[in-house]
Structure 1
Amino acid sequence: MKLVVVSDTHGSMEHLAAIRERHGEACFFHCGDACYPIAEEPDFVYVKGNCDRDRVMPEELITEQDGLVILQTHGDAYGVKQTGMRLRYRALEAGANLVLFGHTHVPTCVQDDGVLFLNPGSLLLPRSHPIATYAVLDGKTDGACITVEVVFYALDGTRQAGLGGTYRLQAAYGEGGLS
């Protein structure tokens, strides 16, 4: 499985087509603050950010895919700029083993208590990293485990050293519990 994650584009759509083309057969996730009509980029799964005005976007989504239970949110409702605890509790409550979020504009990938937390950074207004980033996850299932390689890229497709890594997650099945 391959997932491409972007966030905090703040109206800029100029790089999305190149990202889709570069990574081909993948599932594309946008973690909020798109700030453009999502009908113009329908290939992404969206959640609403604090700057979005599109009423059809949900505040969060829980998606199951190939042993992953993905909690996707912008993060502002969980206070991610102050602490990750509320988002961590929500992930455990949902039985998620992967959390995709944005809001901070800081590329982050951390595993805690069996859950992988991923923020792709921002495609327009990066913070704590000198350039705009997005993330790609490649996962391989091996029985009850999923090995996930996370790579962060610059807008031109250049791999960003020092970000991402390889993580092993327990395969999850259904809301509320890990198998």
Structure 2
Amino acid sequence: MKIGVVSDSHGDIHALRSALKSIGDADLVIHLGDGINDIDAVSQYIKTEIIKVKGNCDFNSGLDAERIIMAENKRLLITHGHNYNVKSDYLNIHYKAIKEDAHMVLFGHTHFPEIIENNNIILFNPGSISKPRGTGRTYGIVIIEKGLIMPKIWDLHL
């Protein structure tokens, strides 16, 4: 299974389209918030399922702040991250993953790409496709096959 992961598009539809084009054929696309209107605007061009959660800048969206999904028998916690103080540390989000028995947490909010494995839980932040901090514009691809979760961060070249 191939999952494209984007976050923090903040109105930059051009960057979002470029990221989706770079991701290519995916079984699933996940938008981690702060720009869910952007993914709605381009959803007609995407042939795959889209999962989205609201971020702290997605006012009155009516979406959930987090979701749990199953992908290839792996439990994924999807959230923007602001409710877990991820700009300070990852302790709260890691505890939430343990509580939810998640194999992986996908989150944004910090605009900084990171992959951390801690006690068999993968914390995955694809960074921001519009307003990066400390790096260039980035997105993520997660491959799940044969019981393995293989996340990778990719640079977005506009």
Asked whether the two chains share a fold, i.e. TM above 0.5, the reply is yes
| Mean Cα deviation higher: 16-25 or 81-90 | 16-25
| Mean Cα deviation higher: 35-44 or 7-16 | 35-44
Which residue of 2 is the match for residue 136 of structure 1? 141
The alignment partner of 2:51 has SS state of: strand
Give the C-alpha shift of residue 67 in structure 1: 1.4
Q: Percent identity?
A: 32
Give the C-alpha shift of residue 137 in structure 1: 1.2
Which residue of 1 is the match for residue 107 of structure 2? 101
**Structure-2 change in CA distance of 1:68 and 1:48 (3 Å):** same
Asked if structure 1 preserves the Cα contact closer than 8 Å seen for 2:9 and 2:38, the reply is no
Q: Distance in 2 between matches of 1:54 and 1:45?
A: 17
Give the C-alpha shift of residue 18 in structure 1: 3.4
Answer 1 or 2: which has greater helix percent. 2
Asked if structure 1 preserves the Cα contact closer than 8 Å seen for 2:31 and 2:39, the reply is no
Flag structure 1 segments of 5+ consecutive residues without an equivalent: 158-179
Instruction: Map 1:1-179 onto structure 2 (within 5 A).
Output: 1-22=1-22, 23-34=24-35, 36=37, 38-42=39-43, 43-129=49-135, 131-141=136-146, 146-156=147-157
* 4+ residue segments displaced more than 4 Å: none
Q: Distance in 1 between matches of 2:142 and 2:118?
A: 17
**Structure-2 change in CA distance of 1:37 and 1:152 (3 Å):** closer
Structure 1 or 2, whichever has the larger Rg, is 1
Give the C-alpha shift of residue 35 in structure 1: 5.4
**Structure-2 change in CA distance of 1:148 and 1:35 (3 Å):** closer
Flag structure 2 segments of 5+ consecutive residues without an equivalent: 44-48
TM-score normalised by length of structure 2: 0.88
The alignment partner of 2:111 has SS state of: coil
Asked if structure 2 preserves the Cα contact closer than 8 Å seen for 1:48 and 1:54, the reply is no
TM-score normalised by length of structure 1: 0.78
The alignment partner of 2:115 has SS state of: strand
The alignment partner of 1:15 has SS state of: helix
Give the C-alpha shift of residue 53 in structure 1: 1.5
The alignment partner of 2:37 has SS state of: coil
**Structure-2 change in CA distance of 1:124 and 1:39 (3 Å):** closer
Asked if structure 2 preserves the Cα contact closer than 8 Å seen for 1:49 and 1:103, the reply is yes
**Structure-2 change in CA distance of 1:38 and 1:140 (3 Å):** closer
* Root-mean-square deviation (Å): 1.8
The alignment partner of 2:13 has SS state of: coil
Asked if structure 2 preserves the Cα contact closer than 8 Å seen for 1:35 and 1:51, the reply is no
* Greater relative contact order, per chain length (Cα 8 Å cut-off, separation 6+): 2
